[in-house]
Amino acid sequence: MVFLDGIRLNRQNVITISGITSAAFQFHHSDLFSVHFDQHLNFTEMCGIFAYLNYDVSRERRYILEVLFNGLRRLEYRGYDSAGISIDSSSVAGAVRSPSDPPLVFRQEGNIESLVKSVYQEVSATDLNLEESFSVHAGIAHTRWATHGEPAPRNSHPQSSGAENDFLVVHNGVITNYEVLKQSLLRHGYTFESETDTEVIPKLAKFVFDKANEGGDQTVTFSEVVLEVMRHLEGAYALIFKSRHYPNELIACKRGSPLLLGVKEFAEEQNNGTSYNEMNFISKNGHPKELFLSSDPHALVEHTKKVLVIEDSEVVDIKDGGVTILKFDNGKRKDGKSLSRPASVQRALSILEMEVEQISKGKYKYYMQKEIHEQPESLTTTMRGRLIRGGSSKRKSVLLGGLKDHLKTIRRSRRIVFIGCGTSYNAALAARPILEELCGIPVMMEIASDLLDRQAPVYRDDTTIFVSQSGETADTLNALEYALENGALCVGITNTVGSSVARNTHCGVHINAGSEIGVASTKAYTSQIVVMAMVALAIGADTISTKQRREGIIESLLNLPGKIREVLKLDEEMKELARSLISEQSLLMFGRGYNYATALEGALKVKEVALMHSEGILAGEMKHGPLALVDETLPIVVIATRDQCFSKQQSVIQQLKARKGRLIVMCTEGDAAAVCGGSCRVIEVPQVVDCLQPVVNIVPLQLLAYHLTVLRGYNVDQPRNLAKSVTTE
Ligand code: UD1
Ligand code: BG6
C-alpha cells in the first residue's frame, strides 16, 4: 500500500489481458480533491485529437510527422483555430524505466497548414534529423476550436505538466471542475501558463506521479497515474497522455467524448505494410503494428478499417506492441465513499463502414461543393431498400426497419414534437406539412435550446423526434435527456451510426447520407427531409383515404435523384447570380408553406459561409414588418414554385414589385413569364410533388451560397467561428 499526500494507492490484484500482465490498482478516497462525477456529459470542446504509435515498424521522423499532420487534416473540420503535436526528440527504444529526453512540443495558432509550416521552420532552424528512424515511437496531435482561452500557442494542445514535458495531454471535451483542481495545484506550487481547462490534467498527472515516486523507486505504472487523474476529473473528455517517464507508451481514456482506436497489424514475417492480421482481436503483445487513436473515424480510414470504439470510463494502455483496456468503475462503496475498480475487458474489433473516397474531395475543390453535387447519390443511398415500388399485386410502400415496431405507438401519440438545431431544425420544418397531412397528428417544432430554456411541457403520450446530422449536438442531447425524463417516445433521425442520438433514442432512422465534412450542412439536409417524408408515409400507411397521395409521393421519391441531377445544371447560372450579389450587404429570402423552410435554410447557408447578412422570412408575415426594408437596392429571393401557395406568392411578388423590390424569383420550369412578366431575375427549377419541392429548391440556394463565398474570398469549408458539430451548450 502506498500513501500519497491525501491519495492512497492500494495494490489489489494482477490481471492478465491479451498476453500482457497488468497491475490493477484500487484507489481510495482522496482528501485532497473532492471526487464527484456529474452526469451531464454534453459540454464537449469542439476539437479533434489524434495519436500514432508505430511498434516494431521502422518509421522516419518525417513520416511520423506527416501521419500526425494528415490525421489533423482529417479532423480539421471539427475545429481549426489552433493546433499542436508532440513527438520524441530522440529514439528511446530501449529506455523502459529511465525517463527519455523531454518530448518536443510544437503548437501554433491558425489552421493545420500554419502548424505544418511552423514545425518545418523550427526543424530547419535546429539540427533535428527528419530522416532519423524509430522502430517504436508515440506521437500525439490536436486541432482546436477555442472555448477556454483565445486561439494562441499557449492555449493550444498538447498541454504540458511543465518545462520538462513530463506529461503531455491532448483533450477533446471540457473539464467542468478545473478551477477547483487548479487552485489545489497552485497551492502545491504549480504554475499555469494557459487559460485552458485542460492544463490541470497533465499537472495533476505529474503531481500523482511525483507523489507515488517520492521514495525514488518508480513503481507506479502509467495507467495507474491516469486512473488516479481520471478520478478527479468532472465533465466530458477524451484524453490521450504521453510521458517522458513512460517512453513509447500512450494512455487514452474517455467519458462522454468519442474516441476510437485503429489497429493495423503486420504479419510476423513482414512489416512492409502489405499484409495484415485477419483476426478480429488485437494480436498478442509484441507483433509489429501501427496503432492510431482518433476522436473521429475520418482520420483512421486511410490507415485501417479495424477499429475499437472506446467506451466511457475505459482506459486504453498501448505499450510494448500490446493494448490493455481497463474499465474504470466509479461506483460507490457501502460507506458512501468513492470507489474506482479497474477491471480488464476484451472486445472484438469492429470494421469501419467507410471508404477513403467518402472523406476525400475527389474532383472537387471543396467539401461543400462536392457534397452539394453528390446529392443525387446521397439521396439514392438514403432511400435504398426503403421504398417498395409496388407492382401488379404489391402496393407501393415504405419500409423503415428502425421504426416498424413503433409505428402503432406513434400513431396513438397526442403530438409529434420535432427537436433540432440549425439546418436539422430547418429540415424538420420542411417536412412538417407532410407529417401533418398524412398522420393527422399535431406537429410541434422546437429548437432544442429554446425547449430547454422554457422547460416546455413534454408528455408521456408525445412522440419526440430528434433530428441531428452528427447526433452529438449538445442542445439536442440535453433536450433528448429531458424528453426521456418526461417519458416521451424518443425517435432519432441522424446521419451517424453509434452517435449519442442513435444510442439514446428508443428507435429511429439513419439517413445514410455518407460523411458530411463541409461545416455548412447540404446533403444531410436533403436526406433528412426525404427520411422525414418517408416517416410520414410510414405513419400514415394505414389510412385508405390518402393511398393515392402516398403513392404519388413514393413515385416522386423514386424520381427525385434524377430531378436533383437536373437542378444541379444551374451551377453556372448560380455563379453568375452570385457574381451580381458579391458586394451586397444583405439578402432576404421569402417563402411560405412547404418552402418557408427553404427560405430559412437558404438564408442560413448564405450567412454561414458567405458571411453576408441574410434572413429567411415567412412571406405571410411580409406586411407585418419586412416590407419596410424593401427598396430598389436590397436583393430579395422569392420562392414561388407551384403548390397550393402559388397564387399567394404571386401576390407577394406583385406587392414587392410595386415597391420597386429587386427580385430574384425561384419558380417552376416554364413559369418565368407568369411569375414576373420578364421584369425580374428568375431561377427555374424542375417540378416534383409539392411536399418534396423543398429538396429541389434548396439546391440552387446551396450553389448560390457556395459561389458567393468563393467569390468573396472566404473559406467555404471552414466558415469563421463555426464548427461542424456543436458539442458545447
Ligand atoms: C438496418 C441496418 C442496415 C441494413 C438494414 C437491413 C444499421 C445501422 N442499419 O437498416 O445496415 O442494411 O437494416 O435491413 O445496422 N436507431 C435509433 N435511433 C436513431 C437511429 C436509429 O434507435 O437515431 C435504431 C433503429 O430503431 C434501428 C437501428 O437503429 O433499430 C438501425 O436503424 P436504421 O439503420 O435506420 O435501420 P435500417 O434502415 O433497417
Ligand atoms: C452546427 C452546424 O451549427 O450544428 C450546422 O454548423 C448544423 O451545420 C447544426 O445544422 C446542427 O447540427 P446537427 O449535427 O445536430 O445536425
Give the residue whose CA is nearest to atom 15 of ligand 2: 468
Ligand 2 site, residue 527, Cβ cutoff 6 A: no
Rounded to the nearest angstrom, the distance between the alpha carbon of 479 and the centre of ligand 1 is 22
pLDDT at 101: 87
Per-residue confidence (pLDDT) for residue 220, from 0 to 100? 92
DSSP sequence for 615-666: EEEEGGGGGGTGGGG--SSSEEEEEE-SSTTHHHHHHHHHHHHHTT-EEEEE
pLDDT above 80: residue 637: yes
Calpha distance 240→119 (Å, rounded): 21
Query: CB of 468 closer than 6 A to ligand 2?
Result: yes
Q: Is 473 in the pocket of ligand 2 (CB under 6 A)?
A: yes
Q: How far is the CA of 507 from the centre of ligand 1 (A)?
A: 9
Q: Give the pLDDT score at 28.
A: 30
Q: Is the CB of 725 under 6 A from ligand 2?
A: yes
Tell how far the Cα of 567 is from the centroid of ligand 2, in angstroms. Answer: 25
- DSSP percent split of the chain into helix, strand, coil, nearest 5: 35, 25, 40
User: 501: Cβ below 6 Å to ligand 1?
Assistant: yes
Q: Is 188 helix (H, G, I), strand (E, B) or coil?
A: coil
470 lines ligand 2 (CB under 6 A): yes
State which ligand 2 atom lies nearest to the alpha carbon of 470: 14
Pocket test for ligand 1, best of 419, 489, 509, 511 (most atoms within 8 A of CB): 509
Instruction: Please name which ligand lies nearest the alpha carbon of 386.
Output: 1
Q: What does the block give as the cell for 598?
A: 427553404
What's the 724 CA to ligand 2 centre distance in angstroms?
A: 6
Tens-place pLDDT, residues 449-483: 999 999 999 999 999 999 999 998 989 999 999 99
- Round to whole Å and give the CA distance between 550 and 538: 9
Q: By the 8 A CB rule, do 257 and 44 touch?
A: yes
- For residue 272, pLDDT beyond 60: no
pLDDT digits (tens, 9 = 90+) for 307-329: 998 988 899 999 998 899 998 76
CB distance 489 to ligand 1 below 6 Å: no
Phi-psi region of 45 (alpha: psi -120 to 50; beta: other; left: phi over 0): beta
DSSP 396: P
Q: Tell me: pLDDT of 151 over 90.
A: no
Give pLDDT, residue 77: 79
Strands 133-144 and 159-160: unpaired
How confident is the model at residue 513, as a pLDDT?
95
88-118 pLDDT, tens per residue?
997 665 555 566 789 999 999 988 999 999 9
**Ligand 1 center to 236 CA (angstroms):** 27
Paired sense of beta strands 2-3 and 8-17, if any:
antiparallel
- pLDDT at site 393: 65
Joined grid coordinates for residue 329: 468503475
C-beta 322 within 6 A of ligand 1: no
Q: Would you state the pLDDT for residue 201?
A: 98
- Phi/psi at 687 (5° precision): -90, 140
Q: Would residue 47 show up in a list of annotated catalytic residues for this protein?
A: yes
Cα of 323 from ligand 1 centre, angstroms:
31
Q: Which atom of ligand 1 is nearest to the CA of 497?
A: 8
520 CA to centre of ligand 2 in angstroms? 8
Nearest 5 degrees, angle CA 415-CA 418-CA 422?
Answer: 160
| Atom 13 in ligand 1: residue holding the nearest Cα | 401
Q: How far is CA 116 from CA 66, 91, 113, in A?
A: 9, 22, 5
Ligand 1 touching residue 508 (CB < 6 A): yes
Pairing between β-strand 82-87 and β-strand 635-640 as defined by DSSP bridges: unpaired
Supply the pLDDT for residue 2: 29
497 lines ligand 1 (CB under 6 A): yes
**Ligand 2: centre distance to CA 618 (Å):** 22
Q: Is 406 in the pocket of ligand 1 (CB under 6 A)?
A: no
Q: Is the CB of 602 under 6 A from ligand 1?
A: no
Where in 456-559 does DSSP place strands (E)?
Answer: 462-468, 489-494, 507-510
pLDDT at 60 over 70: yes
CA of 723 to the centre of ligand 2 (A): 8
Determine contact, residues 459/484, Cβ cutoff 8 Å. no
Ligand nearest to the CA of 531: 1
What is the mean pLDDT of the segment spanning 3-17? Answer: 28
Cβ 68 under 6 angstroms from ligand 1 = no
Q: Which pLDDT score, from 0 to 100, does residue 718 have? A: 84
- Residue of 676, 130, 699, 718 whose CA lies nearest to 366: 718
Mean pLDDT estimate for the chain: 86
Helix boundaries (H) for 440-487: 448-454, 474-485
pLDDT reported for residue 215: 78
Atom of ligand 1 nearest to the CA of 466: 23
Name beta bridge partners: 447: 420
Residue with the nearest Cα to atom 7 of ligand 1?
497
The cell numbers describing 99, all together, are 525517463
510, 528, 532: residue to mutate for ligand 1 pocket, most atoms within 8 A of CB = 510
Helices H, strands E: what count in the chain?
A: 19, 30
Q: What is the pLDDT of residue 3?
A: 26
**Nearest ligand atom owner, CA of 401:** 1
Rounded distance between C-alpha atoms, residue 73 and residue 75, angstroms: 5
pTM: 0.79
Q: Whose CA is nearest to atom 31 of ligand 1?
A: 402
Q: What's residue 385's pLDDT?
A: 93
